Amino acid sequence: MSKKKKEWRAEKERLLGLSTEDRRKDYRGNYLELDKIPTWASQENSTATDDEEQKSSSLADKVSLYKGDITILEVDAIVNAGTAADLPVISDIEAVTAVNRALGRGRRLALQRR
């Protein structure tokens, strides 16, 4: 087993064993908790006008639409970070660089293994 693979596995085990408060001590700056981001269903319901629009699916209760700095989100995964077309101010490379910088070396190694 390579040294990088051992480092990645050790870091994964260390992080899995930490409480939420202990994990937060490792953060490099501000963070936004997941429960502070409204779900798609709650955003939809706040502007809905009829009964049909009030219905929420199980998916809408699990999905959040977020516009902002994704590097501060306290989440395990980001499904779609957008593209340069979505973010005309920055390039794809700048967005990826910002995400990787926020992740840190151990988490980047974990992503490379997937």
Rounded to a whole number of angstroms, the CA Rg of the chain reads 18
At which residue do the structure tokens 């390039």 appear?
91
Each residue's pLDDT tens digit, 37-91: 888 888 765 555 544 444 446 777 878 878 888 888 888 777 665 555 555 555 5
Each residue's pLDDT tens digit, 29-44: 889 998 898 888 887 6
Regarding predicted confidence, which is higher, 50 or 103? Answer: 103
State whether the Cα torsion 44-62-9-11 is positive or negative: positive
3 state DSSP class of 33? strand
What was the pLDDT predicted at 56?
47
User: Has this prediction a pTM greater than 0.75?
Assistant: no
Q: Report the alpha-carbon distance of residue 89 to residue 93 in Å, rounded.
A: 12
3 state DSSP class of 73? strand
